[in-house]
């Protein structure tokens, strides 16, 4: 068995929606057989069904790590985060390794939010704490608050794929500097890099207006160019997309997901792929590299 526990995580967002209990169990079994041990869910996924289904499948399995998120609804105040974590623990019926703040709440003091998360960790309710969907300045502000009270932010969860590269500007360099674990979601760009839209298939980009807006700025023809590169390399497009994310120096752990085990298989296969620099660069060239955080690029390092 190949141990990919440090390379990939599985996202259970589709549990209770496009994946029923049988499909969910089959996918988790495939992950475990491949050596994957990190699983990701959230308090708000499928009205709680995702956490319940994941807990039912993993409960009693040794060596697995479950991450969940709180605060997507109801704000990031102490009372709401406490209530949602308690509900998540009850649904899962097992320990939570990593708890994220699901998104930034401009109406709640970050001091209160961070103190609450650090408190969860000190109480032993969770082993690690993280931040999802936050800007780099917000993460560093949170890290500073945590340091003052003797705590630490352990991980971040940004969107990251070959067609959504904003994280490269500040989030990934920051994570490397701070020693933060990085779990990147949507490594397939909402299916744009899977090849299904080139073949005329349907998915989130055609069915969900939010996703259509999110990827509206991606240059036309990127999916065709990407599937062409995958074919030349002898790789499934999904395998190449996930492997490309894994190749970043920040050691990003892609969060892969699927509707069933067959759809999941090429994502799991990415664990055994090491991209050569030429292929990595060719994929990167499909979408403009985001500009750096400072305009003083002409001076170079030093």
Domains for the chain: give ranges and CATH numbers.
1-157 (3.20.20.100)
**pLDDT at residue 207 tops 70:** yes
Q: What are phi and psi of 181, to 5 degrees?
A: -70, 140
- Which segments of 12-135 does DSSP mark as H helices, in order? 21-34, 49-58, 78-92, 110-122
SS3 of the chain: helix, strand, coil, percent, to 5: 45, 15, 40
pLDDT at residue 254 in the model:
98
Distance CA 178, CA 171 (A): 10
Query: 105-127 burial, b for 16+ CB within 10 Å, e for fewer?
Result: beebebebbbbbbbbbbeeebbe
Helix (H, G, I), strand (E, B) or coil at 111: helix
pLDDT at residue 147 in the model:
98
Q: What percent of the chain has pLDDT over 90?
A: 89
**pLDDT at residue 273 tops 90:** yes
CB atoms near residue 207 (< 10 Å): 9
**pLDDT at residue 3 tops 50:** no
Q: What percent of the chain has pLDDT over 70?
A: 97
pLDDT at residue 263 in the model:
96
Please tell me the least confidently modeled range out of 135-139, 253-257, 298-302: 298-302
**pLDDT at residue 38 tops 90:** yes
Q: Which residues pair with 127 in a beta bridge?
A: none
pLDDT at residue 260 in the model:
96
The predicted-structure confidence for 154-175, as pLDDT tens digits, reads as follows 999 999 999 999 999 999 999 9
pLDDT at residue 6 in the model:
57
The length of the chain in residues reads 302
Q: Mean of the pLDDT values across residues 130-140?
A: 98
Q: Mean of the pLDDT values across residues 253-271?
A: 97
Distance CA 75, CA 49 (A): 21
The predicted-structure confidence for 56-71, as pLDDT tens digits, reads as follows 999 999 999 999 999 9
C-alpha distance from residue 151 to each of 50, 99, 105, 132, 143 (Å):
29, 14, 20, 18, 8
Q: Mean of the pLDDT values across residues 232-247?
A: 98
Q: How confident is the model at residue 130 (pLDDT cuts 50, 70, 90)?
A: very high
Q: How confident is the model at residue 247 (pLDDT cuts 50, 70, 90)?
A: very high
């Amino acid at each position: 068995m190949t141990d990919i526990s440090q390379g990939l995580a599985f996202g259970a967002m589709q549990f209770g929606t496009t994946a029923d209990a049988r499909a969910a169990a089959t996918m988790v079994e495939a992950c475990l057989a491949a050596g994957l041990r990190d699983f990701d869910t959230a308090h708000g996924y499928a009205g709680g069904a995702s956490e319940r289904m994941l807990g039912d499948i993993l409960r009693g399995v040794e060596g697995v790590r479950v991450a969940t998120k709180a605060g997507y609804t109801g704000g990031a105040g102490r009372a709401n985060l406490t209530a949602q974590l308690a509900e998540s623990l009850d649904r899962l019926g097992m320990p939570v390794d990593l708890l994220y703040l699901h998104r930034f709440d401009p109406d709640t003091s970050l001091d209160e939010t961070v103190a609450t998360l650090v408190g969860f960790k000190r109480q032993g309710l969770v082993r690690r704490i993280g931040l999802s969907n936050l800007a780099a300045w917000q993460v560093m502000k949170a890290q500073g608050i945590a340091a003052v009270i003797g705590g630490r932010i352990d991980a971040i969860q940004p969107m990251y794929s070959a067609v959504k590269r904003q994280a490269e500007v500040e989030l990934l360099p920051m994570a490397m500097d701070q020693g933060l674990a990085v779990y990147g979601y949507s490594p397939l760009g909402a299916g744009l890099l899977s090849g299904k839209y080139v073949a005329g298939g349907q998915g989130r980009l055609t069915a969900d207006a939010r996703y259509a807006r999110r990827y509206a700025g991606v240059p036309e023809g990127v999916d065709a160019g990407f599937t062409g590169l995958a074919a030349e390399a002898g790789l499934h497009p999904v395998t190449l997309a996930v492997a490309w994310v894994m190749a970043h120096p920040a050691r990003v752990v892609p969060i892969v997901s699927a509707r069933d085990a067959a759809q999941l298989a090429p994502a799991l296969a990415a664990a055994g792929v090491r991209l050569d620099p030429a292929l990595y660069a060719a994929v990167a060239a499909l979408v403009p590299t985001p500009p750096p955080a400072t305009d003083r690029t002409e001076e170079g390092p030093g």
